[in-house]
Structure 1
Amino acid sequence: MKKQTKPKHLGLIVGGGELPQQVAKLARQAGMMVYPVNLSGFAKTKSELSNGPWRSIGQIGGILEDLKDADVSQICFAGIVDRPNFSTLQLDEIGRQEMPRISTAAQQGDDALMRAVLSVFENAGFDIIGPDEIAASLLAPAGQLGTIEPNQQQIADMNKAAQIAKAVGQLDIGQGAIVCRGVVLAVEAQEGTDAMLRRCASLPKSMRGTRKEPAGVLVKTPKPGQEMRIDLPTIGVETVQRASEAGLAGIGFVTGQTFLLERKAMLAQADRLGLFLFGLNLQEIE
């Protein structure tokens, strides 16, 4: 008789957005047992994962205890978690021990902050894997997606926005930029992509495109040298909608390093709104 292999147990630290649900679904399809720990204030209160324990981000000891009780050895962080106000966090004992080091790292930038957080879990004996290792099927392919093809001006804007986003990322500021007719309209900082798009939409129409006459391109790239197991760029239906509201002509993203959520719906939305979607090769961004 063939010996049955025991399913791998995966601890999933659940932040906001759709990515955690997609990661959990694909992990289960791969034969993993998924044990979610939901982060209060970020994770969806009504989802297939919400029956797992809930912890605030300051309850580091509680999170570690939940994972150990679930007998997991591998963990994955998925979903949006905004930078907290460290002075108001409710901390447990382990949180109080670790927070001085974490808050000091936060002053060096988001990447240093994320590395400090991950080290807490690694030091506790957990193997951390990126969502891309589980959900590779969600990663962006190369070239044009959908039916809308960028013109020469839009390609030039996309290439410049990619260069700007890479430069901004090198300074650990953000992951995105918007360029319209050769002019930089916005770069992403702590406010995030959605807020950057809303800011762009508030600019005078003489500076940007409109829904009737779209112009300009948003490009999202990972930060050069960033911790790749957490915080890869993510694009979904809402990103497409906000880009259209800002009068943009399209969205560019890095092939193999950007999650495309609800891809079928996102492509349908982009085609309906007249936006192009394009996967860029990271090595070609100078």
Structure 2
Amino acid sequence: MLIGPIKRPAWRDLKPDAEGARILMRLGRAVFSGDDGLLASVVRVLEEKGFAVRGAHEFLHDELGPRGALGRIEPDEQAHRDMERAARVLRVMAPLDIGQGCVVQNGLVLAVEALEGTDGMLQRCRALKQEGVGGILLKMPKTGQELRADMPALGAETVRRAAEAGLRGIAFAAGGTLLMNKQECVKEADRLGLFLYGYAPRVS
């Protein structure tokens, strides 16, 4: 089972042994792709070695974020429109294997997640906030993502970083996001005045 963050090493710093060199050769061009492309290739190599790879979400059932508001604050109509906008952006980005997060404020895309991760993106957003009500963060998996290796996740620290960035809420793909210590996430969201919302696309 694969769980937790991974920091990409600088490839020039790697000093693989013979087996490591063979694995790098099996990964091929995937070592230069996005996180999902690389991790999907790692899963493939592990399976070729006889391992059965299981996703963390197969065991952490209670940590999967459900649909709807989790705390005492409900997103308003503008927040829902911003969620839909962020979801469209992430769906367009998915084939490029860039990131799992997008911040939108009143229809304006403030930031998309790249190699710096969610916390780094939220740090950038602190200087990008526009006048008026704060924006929203949406976390959702890429289309066709290898969820056994890289399911979106967020925790109480993400909630605190979102508040520092001036956001008014966090949305996440319902049933497709791990909430680390869900009760603490909800408690922090309520304390800081943010909504925490399990997003599912609206049916038109």
TM-score normalised by L of structure 1: 0.68
Amino acid at match of 2:119: D
Q: Which amino acid aligns with 1:240?
A: V
Residue aligning to 2:183: 264
**Structure 1 residue 219 corresponds to structure 2 residue 167:** no
Kindly state the Cα deviation for residue 173 of structure 1 after the two structures are TM-superposed: 0.7
Q: Confirm or deny that 1:92 pairs with 2:17.
A: yes
Question: Which residue number in structure 1 is paired with residue 157 of structure 2?
Answer: 238
Question: Quick check: 1:154 aligned with 2:84?
Answer: no
Cα distance in 2 for partners of 1:170, 1:271 equals 35
**Offset, 1:150:** 1.2
Q: Any idea what SS the aligned residue of 1:265 has? A: helix
Does structure 2 conserve the Cα–Cα contact (< 8 Å) formed by 1:216 and 1:250?
Answer: yes
Distance 1:261 1:285, change over 3 A: farther
Asked if structure 1 preserves the Cα contact closer than 8 Å seen for 2:40 and 2:149, the reply is no
* Pair 109,151 (structure 1): closer, same or farther in 2 beyond 3 Å: same
Supply the distance in 2 between the matched residues of 1:113 and 1:251 (Cα, whole angstroms): 27
How many equivalent residue pairs?
A: 204
Query: Any residues of structure 2 matched to 1:156-235 within 5 Å, and which?
Result: 156-203=81-128, 205=129, 207=130, 214-235=133-154
Offset at residue 285 of structure 1 (A): 8.2
Provide structure 2 residue ranges, at least 5 long, that are not aligned to the other structure.
none
CA-CA distance at 1:99 after TM superposition:
1.2
User: Structure 1: which 5+ residue stretches go unaligned?
Assistant: 1-75
Measured after TM superposition, the shift of residue 147 of structure 1 is 0.2
User: Which protein has greater RCO, CA pairs closer than 8 Å, 6+ apart?
Assistant: 2
**Deviations 1:101-149 (Å, cap 9, x if unpaired)?**
3252122332221122112211111111110111121101001110011
Structure with the largest fraction of helix: 2
Post-superposition CA distance 1:42-89 (Å, at most 9, x none): xxxxxxxxxxxxxxxxxxxxxxxxxxxxxxxxxx01100022211211
- Quick one: distance in 1 between partners of 2:48 and 2:131? 48
3-state SS, counterpart of residue 138 of structure 2:
strand
Say if 2:28 is the partner of 1:137: no
Deviations 1:203-254 (Å, cap 9, x if unpaired)? 2x5x266xxxx51100001010111211111011000000000100101111
* Paired residues of 2:26 and 2:45 also in contact (CA < 8 A): no
What SS does structure 2 have at the residue aligned with 1:277?
Answer: strand
User: In the superposition, relative to structure 1, how do residues 90 and 285 fare at CA in structure 2: closer, same or farther (>3 Å)?
Assistant: farther
TM-score normalised by structure 2 residue count:
0.93
Change (3 A) 1:176 1:128: same
Checking the alignment, whether the CA contact within 8 Å between 1:166 and 1:221 is kept in structure 2 is: no
Moved over 6 A (4+): none
Computing the radius of gyration over CA atoms, which structure comes out larger, 1 or 2? 1
Q: Matched residues, percent identical? A: 46
SS in 2 for 1:257: coil
Q: CA RMSD in A?
A: 1.7
User: How far apart in 1 are the matches of 2:88 and 2:193?
Assistant: 24
